[in-house]
Amino acid sequence: MLSQIFATFKDGQLIARIDQDTSIESLKFEFKSNGFEFDNQLVRKLNIWLIIISPNFYKSTEDALIQLRKLPGVIYAQLDHNLSQRVEPNDPFYPQMWNLNNTGQSGGVADADIDAPEAWDISTGGVTALGEEIVVAVVDGGVSYQHVDLADNIWVNENEIPSNGIDDDENGYVDDIVGWNAYNNNGSVPSSSHGTHVSGTIGAKGDNSDDVTGINWDVKIMCVAGSTSQTSVASIAYGYVLDQKTLWIESGGEFGANVVATNSSFGIDFADCNSGSYPVWNDLYNAMGEVGILSAAATINSNQNVDNIGDVPTGCSSDYMIAVTNTTDDDVKYSGAGYGLETIDLGAPGTHICSTIPGNNVSCSYTGTSMATPHVAGTVGLMHAAATLTWAEGYVESPAIKALELKSMILDNVDILPTLDGVTVSGGRLNLYNAVYAIANAGSNFQSGDVNMDSLINILDVVNIANYIVTGEGFTQEEIELADMDGNGEINVVDIVSVINIILNINGNN
């Protein structure tokens, strides 16, 4: 299954670069005592060697890699990865989509992009590891859901019979086939140029020889009309999304929709979300977050510090909201886009973005934070498709915790940019590949005791376990499993002693 293919490698061997000033002969004994043997020199000028792992010396090749990196003379070591042809779509406008793969084609800086082709080697979208549909809700003015490049990726409520005036699935909404119209409070979703463009960035069908490609080649887009109007209308729109995800959870996936993200490009400029005058906004984002929905929101299209001037919603305090600003093909913040060290999480490409518009057409002229935000919402969707089975199971059990974990993976894996560093929370621009790679490896390649999953077992892991024993809080399910050294279902001082023994053994071998 394509969504589960990522970074495969040759078992039993590693690649290491050795210090040029170190004699290989002087290293052979220590390498052998640690279960390694020099095979042959791969690159003379760089002194890169193929290293063979002694059989039955380590539980896995990944465990061996951790130890090899610690040996004297080793500058770096890595897995011997299997290579494959880079995955790229055949959609005719793809070569113009600098945001996905920047070759300088628009006059910008090469690689000032989100590394989409690299991410697509891991997953192009689809369902979760549990086989569950992945839905991203576009809360906008509407969507041209019959667009040739969107139609196959539009969410459809299979439990509702179209146009019969009956709430067939008893979800509280009559004839909600592709979503909801919060303006008229019915299931007739209007078309919108803005919402259609946003939808194409998230999930235009990829590799179908039509128009553009979305971040997800396969995903389900829920169409919710409810932007650029009153808070009451936005509340109906978000309420619909919340109801569908809650129903999905309560029915075990039989009804509702597995919404993992919302995308919104509307708000109130110069408004203090935390003043007490806008309490519904944080409540909405928090309620959606509690059922596992992250909300990507576009900040103000003005060169303003949102920390100071305020904004609704991107100045709101909900942890489940990701506030996005606009970057250009030169990898700088767009001159007319908001920022804020405490409020705006990251940047994403949002200048002259190619995507779908009504009439089965494409436009490459749209610019704004509204164009940046769907890159983040789309990333959330693709990460769910790439996530390991362990992570997907954890999301079903603890959706709120896993949603925040996913958000952290996005923010912790940005490309740092000078124009965003110090003026956004993460200091950088979205990197799709880094985020997808992080979740594709989450909980799958870490040794027991490596609680913070940094591929090292050291005093930091001891401190983390001790803090958990004292507070009983702060650990994800994966971290609990890594900390439970004796596998008895409890975390206590015995586990700390086990980790300390590993640290002493590692240091004793060096």
pLDDT tens digits, 404-447: 999 999 999 999 999 999 999 999 999 999 999 889 877 555 66
- Provide the pairing of β-strand 353-357 with 346-349: unpaired
Q: What is the pLDDT of residue 501?
A: 80
Tens of pLDDT, residue by residue over 379-415, are 999 999 999 888 999 999 999 999 999 999 999 999 9
What is d(CA 486, CA 475) in angstroms, rounded to the nearest whole number?
Answer: 17
What is d(CA 155, CA 18) in angstroms, rounded to the nearest whole number?
Answer: 53
Query: Residues of the chain with pLDDT > 90: what percent?
Result: 78
Q: What mean pLDDT is predicted for residues 450-466?
A: 83
Q: What is the pLDDT of residue 1?
A: 23
Q: Which of 54-58, 83-87, 150-154 has the lowest mean pLDDT?
A: 83-87
Q: What is the pLDDT of residue 3?
A: 30
Tens of pLDDT, residue by residue over 140-152, are 999 999 999 999 9
Query: Residues of the chain with pLDDT > 70: what percent?
Result: 94
164 or 483, which is more confident: 164
Q: Are 478 and 442 in contact (CB under 8 A)?
A: yes
Look at the pTM and tell me if it is higher than 0.85: no
Task: Classify the phi-psi angles of 253: left when phi > 0, otherwise alpha if psi is within -120 to 50, otherwise beta.
Answer: left
The pLDDT-based confidence of 474 (bands split at 50, 70, 90) is: confident
What is d(CA 200, CA 212) in angstroms, rounded to the nearest whole number?
Answer: 8
What is d(CA 468, CA 477) in angstroms, rounded to the nearest whole number?
Answer: 12
Give me the residues paired with residue 127 across strands. Answer: none
The pLDDT-based confidence of 153 (bands split at 50, 70, 90) is: very high
Q: What is the pLDDT of residue 507?
A: 56
What is d(CA 19, CA 42) in angstroms, rounded to the nearest whole number?
Answer: 14
Q: What is the pLDDT of residue 202?
A: 98
| 51 three-state secondary structure | strand
Domains and CATH numbers, the chain: 2-81 (3.30.70.60), 94-440 (3.40.50.200), 459-508 (no CATH)
Q: What is the pLDDT of residue 7?
A: 45
What's the first-to-final CA gap in the chain, in angstroms?
41
Q: Is the pLDDT of residue 5 over 50?
A: no
Q: What is the pLDDT of residue 2?
A: 28
**In the block, residue with structure tokens 């994403």:** 348
288 or 509, which is more confident: 288
Tens of pLDDT, residue by residue over 297-327, are 999 999 999 999 999 999 999 999 999 999 9
Q: Is the pLDDT of residue 490 over 60?
A: yes
Tens of pLDDT, residue by residue over 156-191, are 999 999 999 999 999 999 999 999 999 999 999 999
Chain-centre distance of CA 433, in angstroms? Answer: 9
Q: What mean pLDDT is predicted for residues 43-65?
A: 92
Q: Is the pLDDT of residue 55 over 80?
A: yes
Q: What is the pLDDT of residue 45?
A: 84
Q: What is the pLDDT of residue 282?
A: 94
The pLDDT-based confidence of 456 (bands split at 50, 70, 90) is: confident
Q: Is the pLDDT of residue 478 over 80?
A: no
Chain-centre distance of CA 284, in angstroms? Answer: 21
Q: Are 369 and 338 in contact (CB under 8 A)?
A: yes
> What integer best gives the mean pLDDT of the chain?
92
330 or 471, which is more confident: 330
- Provide the pairing of β-strand 9-18 with 74-81: antiparallel
What is d(CA 215, CA 202) in angstroms, rounded to the nearest whole number?
Answer: 5
Tens of pLDDT, residue by residue over 276-298, are 999 999 999 999 999 999 999 99
Tens of pLDDT, residue by residue over 213-261, are 999 999 999 999 999 779 999 999 999 999 999 999 999 999 999 999 9
Q: Are 294 and 322 in contact (CB under 8 A)?
A: yes
